[in-house]
Amino acid sequence: MPQASLLDQHGSELFGPHNLPYGVFGTPGDPARRIGVRVGDVVLDAAAAARAVGDEAVAALLDHPVLNPLMAAGRPAWERVRAAVGRWLTAPELYDAVAPLVRPLDSVELHLPFEVADYVDFYASEHHATTVGRLFRPDGDALTPNWKHLPIGYHGRAGSVVVSGTDVVRPAGQRKGVDDPSPVFGPCARLDFEAEVGFVVGAGSPAGVPVSQQAFPEHVFGVCLVNDWSARDIQAWEYVPLGPFLAKSFATSVSPWVVPLPALEAARVAPPERDTPLLPYLDDAALPAWGLDLRLEVRLNGHSLSRPPFSAMYWTAAQQLAHLTVNGAALRTGDLFASGTVSGPGAHERGCLLEMTANGRDPLSLPDGSARGFLQDGDVVTVTAWAPGPDGTRVGFGEVTGRVLPARVP
């Protein structure tokens, strides 16, 4: 009787042949970083598998400690590798060669999957931007006049991007209450998370040449989850006029698995109706839709806080890519752009505590009897997501998680 295929053996609904996300892992016995593909709850050592089946061309793309060389190789190479991995996992004649190269997920250490070039954070949820605008600028319009004309974004600190599971030290910094005569220094008192979705640029583009929305799948390699940790009190004091700086730059966590863009074909949906005409480079009315039906969930210490729907985002990632390059900015392999906090219209669809608690005024009650306006030391924040896959399946993103450590202030 022939062996079962590796997919039959290990594949799950969330991590089956339709998903095959990439990550970077090591093991206690062999800590060298190498590329892995997740199947169910195991990790396939991808370059070793390529060599085991004699596919040297694919092995050359995979035999690296980060995804960047594969990402830089461009879409035809991504398709070739994805097809090859699917073949290794299903062909009965390859079972004996490949089966020894899987490791249980709980036996490996997962690392940052790619070297981040530039990190950009957008602000694409109308619900989030409206709520935040009301809280931070109570005397003005909730949305700034530019908000529906362009996807607002800013550059974050690429060197502070860390992989899920990395502890986050509570930042210290300046804050100033409206009634304080001058700022005070100390640990952030309003530490927050932001549940976001990140888009990872594979193929770069030269300076001076804008990238159109249509070229989105030629440049974006895949999608991950992001927690953009935020110090709200530091942010409120520092952000006028040049934007958030230290309130964000201490840590940004990303999930260890990058879901290939083709795995999300079945999740593509029309974005929400836009009520403001768009300039041609942003207009997507006549283009294939790049809204994405990702269902996020935010948990605090294991307790589910909310289920933000990514499909409610006003701006798509294709629009964000077109905007960020329309001035001629070059793309580099490893550029990461995140969506901004994912928040839907519902009370249980908000992606950060700032919104859930009205800037701390209405604390959440947790099942253990405690209350949270903002995060306490020791809190563990976890964001997970899934998307519809083909034929009634689902595509899993795994999770991005992190624990808050106390500030290190003398």
Taking the C-alpha atoms of residue 21 and residue 82, their distance in angstroms, rounded to an integer, is: 9
The one-character DSSP state at 205 is B
71 lies in the site for a second copy, by CB under 8 A: no
Sign of CA dihedral 108, 221, 114, 294: negative
Nearer residue to a second copy within complex by CB, 55 or 284: 284
Taking the C-alpha atoms of residue 298 and residue 290, their distance in angstroms, rounded to an integer, is: 23
- Pinpoint the alpha helices (H) of 137-176: none
Strand 268-269 relative to strand 364-365, pairing: unpaired
Asked whether the beta carbons of 389 and 383 are under 8 A apart, the reply is no
Strand 161-163 relative to strand 252-254, pairing: parallel
Q: Which stretch binds a second copy (CB under 8 A): 32-40, 61-69, 284-292, 330-338?
A: 330-338
Instruction: Identify residues 174-233 at the interface with a second copy (CB under 8 A).
Output: 174, 176, 182-185, 207-210, 231
Asked whether the beta carbons of 44 and 90 are under 8 A apart, the reply is no
Q: How far is CA 357 from the centre of its chain?
A: 23
Of residues 73, 102, 124, 162, which one binds a second copy by CB under 8 A? 162
Q: Which of 10, 111, 127, 128 is catalytic?
A: 128
Q: Which stretch binds a second copy (CB under 8 A): 46-54, 81-89, 154-162, 267-275?
A: 154-162
Of residues 29, 76, 138, 280, which one binds a second copy by CB under 8 A? 280
3-class state of residue 394 by DSSP: strand
Instruction: Identify residues 97-126 at the interface with a second copy (CB under 8 A).
Output: 117-118, 123
Nearer residue to a second copy within complex by CB, 104 or 277: 277
Of residues 31, 96, 107, 155, which one binds a second copy by CB under 8 A? 155
Nearer residue to a second copy within complex by CB, 327 or 365: 327
CA angle (338, 340, 346) in 5-degree steps: 135
Nearer residue to a second copy within complex by CB, 172 or 254: 172
Number of residues engaging a second copy in binding (CB under 8 A): 67
Of residues 193, 221, 250, 374, which one binds a second copy by CB under 8 A? 250
83 lies in the site for a second copy, by CB under 8 A: no
Residues in the chain: 410
Name the minimum Å distance from CB 151 to a second copy: 10
15 lies in the site for a second copy, by CB under 8 A: no
3-class state of residue 6 by DSSP: helix
Name the minimum Å distance from CB 213 to a second copy: 14
Asked whether the beta carbons of 126 and 314 are under 8 A apart, the reply is yes
Name the minimum Å distance from CB 220 to a second copy: 16
Asked whether the beta carbons of 88 and 303 are under 8 A apart, the reply is no
Whether residue 64 lies in the annotated active site: no
Sign of CA dihedral 112, 116, 119, 124: negative
Q: Which residues of this protein are in contact with a second copy, per CB under 8 A? A: 117-118, 123, 133, 136-137, 144-146, 149-150, 152-160, 162, 169, 171-174, 176, 182-185, 207-210, 231, 234, 237-247, 249-251, 277, 279-281, 323-324, 326-332, 335, 405, 408
Q: Which residues are catalytic?
A: 128
